[in-house]
Amino acid sequence: MTTLSALFTILIFPAGLMLILIGMLYEWIDRKLVARLQNRIGPRWFQPFADIVKLFAKEQIRPGIANLLLFFGLPVMALSGALTAALYVPLMGFAPAHSFPGDLIVTIYLLSLLTMCIGLAGWNTASRFSLVGATRALTQMFAYEAPFLLALLGPALAAASWQVSEINTYAASHWMILTQPVGFIIALIGLMGKLELPPFDSPEAETEIVAGALTEYSGRGLAIFNLGKSVELIVGLTLIASFYLGGVAGILPFLIKTIVLLLVMAVLQSVLTRLRIDQTVGIWWRFGAILVLAQILVMIIWKGWLS
């Protein structure tokens, strides 16, 4: 991998600029699907692009008591966390830009970096809504983080490796959604919790705490946070598609599988009511964790006997 082609993959083609554009496209697909499910027309295809450009062109109001470095640094850190997580994931069906044994754990950590940045940003701007939003975002992160990780460990155990690309190639031959259905459901719902989509959107519940942790952000900061969220949407979808839906070989299977996942998530979003934060944590720990542990137990027993 000459440095030039490495730079190209990181900055332009599958990971950098292209990822942001595809991320915005996927966010549009999500908003359009939810709108269509609610019997309305929904936004046009360039809507997220127009939103981001408009936000960049807006004045950014900085609250007086917010610490400057944190206020401007956190959005950038959040976006870069999401972008680096994309390096280890087979985006658009191509081989990941960089992969080493154990990069699954790094990817998941980098994905949760974004939620931590949002929590810190909410605490830093110290408006009452963002304080409540920040505490809720972090509490919810503890709830879904462990089951989400365990749900992705299932296929890793089956493929006997912690390297995303290897699991991807292993998954090409066995459709793990059939062998580990519980793991697939927990992973999908965990991704919805991570992206704070309804029913897990109490950290940014519009009717209770206005816009949650991002209430005080406007202009560039808000734009970069939204970009981080849409990139995280893509990375999460690719992870689940490559693990459970039989690997991601080329562009076409990648697109089909991720959009099918997005459709399932859109239906779930529009059919379920928002859960209070204590109910979310309750459900995750009572049902989420136990089910996925049982799944892992089944995997260990099955792996132990057969091989």
Partner 1 sequence: MNTEQLLTQAEDLLATWSKESTHPDPMRLDVVISADDLRAATQDLHTARWGYLSAITGLDLGIEAGQLEVLYHFCSGPAITTLRVRQPRDGEAVVPSIADIIPPASFFERELQEMLGFTITGLNNNNRLFLPDDWPEGVYPMRAEFTKDQGAPVPGRHADEMPDEGLINGNTFVVPIGPQHPALKEPGHFEFTVDGEIVTGARMRLGYAHRGIEKAAEARNWNQNLYLFERVCGICSHTHAMAYSMGVEKLAQVEVPARAQAIRELVAGLERVHSHLLWLGVAAHEAGFDTLFMYSWRDRETVMNLLEQITGNRVNYSANVLGGVKCEIGPEQAKAVKEGLSYLEGRIRHYLEVVTTDVMFLNRTRGIGTITFDEAVKFGLLGPTARASGLVRDVRVEAPYGAYLMFPVSAVTETNGDLEARFVVRLKELLVSCATMNNLVDNLPEGPLSVRVPRKIPAGETISRMEAPRGELLYYIKSNGGESPARIHVRTPSLCNWVSVLEKAVGSQLADVPMLIAGMDPCFSCNDRMVTVARPGDRQTWSWEQLRQHGIEYYK
Partner 2 sequence: MKIGTMLKDVLESFFKKPATQIYPFEKVNTAERFRGKLVYNPSVCTGCNLCTKDCPSNAIELVTLDRAAKRFVLKYHMDRCVYCGQCVASCKFKCMNMSNEDWELAAIKKEAFEVYYGNDADVATFLEKLTHPDPVPGDGAVKE
Partner 3 sequence: MANTEVFWKQVISKVRTWSRLNSIWAVHFNSGSCNGCDIEILATLTPRYDVERFGIKLQGSPRHADVLLVSGPVTRQARERLLRTYEQMPEPKFVISVGSCSISGGVFEGCYNVGGSVDEVIPVDVYIPGCPPRPEAVIDGIIQLLTHLQGGSRPTAKRPQIVEEAVA
Position of tokens 């459901």?
185
Report the partner that residue 36 touches, choosing among partner 2, partner 1, partner 3, none (CB closer than 5 to 8 A by kind). Answer: partner 2
DSSP per-residue codes, 284-307: IIIIIHHHHHHHHHHHHHHHHHH-
Tell whether residue 279 is a contact of partner 1 (CB under 8 A). Answer: yes
DSSP per-residue codes, 28-71: HHHHHHHHHHTTS----TTHHHHHHHHHHTS-----TTS-HHHH
* CB nearer to partner 2: pick between 46 and 56: 46
Q: Which of 85, 134, 143, 209 binds partner 1 (CB under 8 A)?
A: 209
CB hemisphere CA count around 56 (13 angstroms): 7
Q: Is the dihedral of CA 153, 159, 160, 162 positive or negative?
A: negative
Tell whether residue 207 is a contact of partner 1 (CB under 8 A). Answer: yes
Rounded CA-CA distance 174/275 in Å is: 35
* CB nearer to partner 1: pick between 27 and 103: 27
Rounded CA-CA distance 174/306 in Å is: 16
Report the partner that residue 54 touches, choosing among partner 1, partner 3, partner 2, none (CB closer than 5 to 8 A by kind). Answer: partner 3
Q: How far is the CB of 157 from partner 3 (least distance, A)?
A: 43
DSSP per-residue codes, 198-231: TTS-GGG-HHHHTTGGGTT--THHHHHHHHHHHH
* CB nearer to partner 1: pick between 145 and 201: 201
Residues 247-286 that bind partner 2 (CB under 8 A): 267, 270-272
* CB nearer to partner 2: pick between 39 and 173: 39
* CB nearer to partner 3: pick between 38 and 273: 38
Tell whether residue 25 is a contact of partner 3 (CB under 8 A). Answer: no
Tell whether residue 37 is a contact of partner 2 (CB under 8 A). Answer: yes
Q: How far is the CB of 185 from partner 2 (least distance, A)?
A: 13
* CB nearer to partner 1: pick between 38 and 173: 38
Question: What residues line the site for partner 2 (CB under 8 A)?
Answer: 35-42, 267, 270-272
